[in-house]
Amino acid sequence: MTKPLAGMYAALMTGLADDGSFCPDRQRALNAHVLGQGLDGLYVGGSSGESGLLDVDELLQQQKIVAGDAADTTLIAHVGAPSLRESVKLARNAKRLGYHGLSALPPHSYPFTDGEILAYYSELQAATDLPLIVYEVPVRTGRPIGLETLVEILSLPHVTGLKFTSTDMFKLSMLRRCCPDAALFFGFDEIYLSGAVLGADGGIGTTYNLLGRLYMALNAAVKAGDLAEAQRLQTISAQFVEGLLETGVLPGMKAAFRALGIEVGPTRAPMLMRVGDGEARIAKLVARPEIAEWLR
């Protein structure tokens, strides 16, 4: 059975002008590059898109631009915001623009209880009839959501899946058993294979913006039972991510786009390149034959 929205999605990045403002032209250039990689869809307005540093009007504008560029592509709008009112506004705008699904970080501006997180998702999923992908990401929120609460959230009428960005693989396996009909997406690019063999229905990741063809091939190898090929491709992914960690993932990704001749601008302050020679390091990284093969 094909599950709603299952597949491989680039967690789309954001094009910014040199002064850090949102830049529609650079967003369109970025969209064009990512759309050319044959992924199953785009995940718009998430952490990879610096959404926590953008205001709601910029996110609404980005939703519109991407919808115009990607009419034939499955689109999931990330609508998680510090305020539930803003989340609902983003969700309803995505619905009007023809997005196919929604996703949202759990509320994390304060130390919310599991009950408050459940209430947030309950109201958000009721705001439209679009399928909602909820999100488990302790590295961003500061704590995991309890298994029982996640199972309860996944039972809400319009909640159809979960983006799981955690290294708690036992928890992922339990979710797979407890919620067999849910679409589970794995969010750590560098170990996607681990999630896939435990039953993930797809992935959503930052490095898919550049290595989308590699991740499609990796997922195909998993489905074909070709473990050796899947391991080979996962190793290339891990080496790329290892290089990005030296510079900061998003600053490094934007430097990689520049190395390929695609200007998508800086990251928004206070996010900065972590090393002074970051551009040179990334240029060497993307020139490595095993990585460059997937960037052509």
Residues recognised as catalytic: 135, 163
Candidates 152, 84, 168; CA nearest to 104 is: 84
Q: Are 128 and 152 in contact (CB under 8 A)?
A: no
Q: What is the 3-state secondary structure (H, E, C) of 207-227?
A: CHHHHHHHHHHHHHHHHHCCH
Strand-pair partners of 184: 162
CA-derived radius of gyration, the chain: 18
Alpha-carbon gap, residue 75 to 73, rounded angstroms: 6
Q: Are 3 and 160 in contact (CB under 8 A)?
A: yes
Candidates 119, 39, 106, 126; CA nearest to 76 is: 39
Q: What percent of the residues of the chain are helix, what percent strand, and what percent coil, each to the nearest 5?
A: 55, 10, 35
Strand-pair partners of 100: none
Cα-based angle 188, 163, 262 (whole degrees, multiple of 5) = 55
The position carrying tokens 């560098």 is 190
Alpha-carbon gap, residue 237 to 189, rounded angstroms: 7
The position carrying tokens 């229905």 is 201
State the DSSP string of 241-278.
HHHHHHH-HHHHHHHHHHHTT-----PPTT---SSTTH
